């Protein structure tokens, strides 16, 4: 029903030579749009580009609904020759086409939903693999002809990457973040205010930070990092797409994963994993008491989600040990005030 719609977006995108969608840019997506906006867009087909009369009719309907920002976007789109689409998601179901998939990725990067906050089932099958170039998105099958055409003009077509996901900053630059290498943050990443992503940091889609935080390691798909946490250089998190199965990996508040370390279990708050140590669900961990005496040995999965843990490797025996973490990570406030 239109009075309980999940999301709405008016976007402009790119077609290949067959009129198939390659990508869509939504400048101002809406989560749970007002009933009047949903009603105005109720007859729109999310898989088809709007023709001129349909777009003008939608603009008038949005104006009448009091959606001035969306109506203004529609007016701007009416003056372009690029394909325009209106997507109304009446419910949070799996995306069925490229515009629906891109709208959901925009919702994440605009911080309208958190990681795991929307249904992305089947997204990989929906999105095409695209050449992202200095001339925009190009169908892989059409790339050789476009490269030749550029050469014949005395130019070089720059191909920055070949992927299903573009870099986030070509679509969304959230307020209050620093990103040293923009190609390492995919559209669909969720970066909370105060987040710094350094040159070797990486943030996948449907993953990210609550902010503030320092990211010098890898945030894999589906992983969420709590406020005040620090991922050291070269560290990793196992995502649900890379061996984590159905376990949702997350890191709580004020945690530290040391350089080249990593986790395959969720952590609570104020946890530390020493540099170079990778904790997987099956890692055998010796639990120590306050005096440093071994109490028991457990598999790391039994510690999932617990707070105030310090994981280290005994340099003499090689045993992975866990004891109470007596200090929390404190981030430099000046580094994460990205005004």
- Contacts of residue 18, Cβ cutoff 8 Å, sequence gap at least 6: none
User: Is residue 295 classed exposed, middle or buried when 0-12, 13-18 and 19+ CB atoms within 10 A define those classes?
Assistant: exposed
Of 267, 322, 268, 319, the residue nearest 295 (C-alpha): 322
What is the CATH code for 131-163?
3.30.60.70
Give me 6's structure tokens.
């999940």
CATH of 2-126, one of 3.90.79.10, 2.40.30.10, 3.30.70.2010, 1.20.1050.10: 3.30.70.2010
254 annotated active-site: no
Catalytic residue among 100, 193, 216, 321: 216
Q: Which CATH superfamily is domain 169-336 in?
A: Hexapeptide repeat proteins (2.160.10.10)
* Distances in whole angstroms, Cα of residue 171 to Cα of each of 108, 136, 162: 12, 12, 17
Q: Where are the domains of the chain?
A: 2-126, 131-163, 169-336
- CA–CA gap between residue 31 and residue 53 (Å, rounded): 26
pLDDT of the chain along its 339 residues, tens only?
A: 345 799 999 999 999 999 999 999 999 999 999 999 999 999 999 999 999 999 999 999 999 999 999 999 999 999 999 999 999 999 999 999 999 999 999 999 999 999 999 999 999 999 999 999 999 999 999 999 999 999 999 999 999 999 999 999 999 999 999 999 999 999 999 999 999 999 999 999 999 999 999 999 999 999 999 999 999 999 999 987 544 456 789 999 999 999 999 999 999 999 999 999 999 999 999 999 888 899 999 999 999 999 999 999 999 999 999 998 765 555 455 545 666
- CA–CA gap between residue 187 and residue 10 (Å, rounded): 17
| Residue whose structure tokens are 């394909």 | 83
pTM recorded for the entire structure: 0.92
């Amino acid at each position: 029903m239109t009075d309980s719609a999940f999301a709405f977006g008016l976007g402009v995108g790119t077609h290949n030579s067959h009129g198939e969608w390659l990508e869509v840019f939504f400048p101002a997506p809406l989560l749970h749009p007002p009933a009047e906006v949903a009603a105005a867009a109720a007859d729109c087909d999310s898989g088809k580009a709007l023709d001129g009369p349909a777009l003008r009719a939608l603009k008038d309907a949005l104006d009448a609904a009091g959606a001035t920002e969306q109506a203004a976007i529609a007016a701007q789109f009416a003056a372009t020759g690029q394909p325009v689409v209106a997507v109304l998601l009446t419910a949070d179901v799996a995306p069925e086409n490229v515009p629906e998939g891109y709208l959901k990725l925009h919702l994440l990067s605009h911080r309208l939903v958190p990681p795991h906050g929307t249904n992305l089932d089947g997204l990989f099958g929906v999105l095409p693999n695209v050449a992202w170039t200095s001339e925009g998105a190009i169908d892989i099958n059409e790339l050789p002809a476009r490269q030749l055409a550029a050469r014949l003009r005395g130019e070089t077509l720059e191909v920055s990457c070949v992927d299903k996901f573009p870099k986030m900053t070509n679509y969304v630059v959230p307020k209050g973040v620093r990103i040293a290498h923009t190609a390492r943050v995919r559209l669909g990443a969720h970066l909370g205010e105060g987040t710094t992503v350094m040159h070797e940091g990486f943030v996948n889609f449907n993953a990210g930070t609550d902010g503030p935080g320092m990211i010098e390691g890898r945030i894999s798909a589906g992983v969420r990092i709590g406020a005040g946490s620090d991922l050291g250089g070269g560290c990793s998190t196992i995502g649900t797409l890379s061996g984590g199965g159905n376990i949702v990996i997350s890191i709580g508040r004020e945690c530290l994963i040391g350089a080249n370390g990593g986790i395959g279990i969720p952590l609570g708050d104020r946890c530390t994993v020493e540099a170079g140590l990778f904790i997987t669900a099956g890692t055998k961990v010796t639990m120590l008491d306050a005096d440093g005496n071994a109490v028991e040995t457990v598999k790391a999965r039994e510690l999932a989600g617990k707070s105030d843990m310090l994981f280290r490797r005994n340099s003499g025996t090689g045993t992975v040990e866990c004891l109470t973490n007596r200090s929390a990570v404190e981030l430099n406030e000046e580094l994460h005030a990205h005004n």
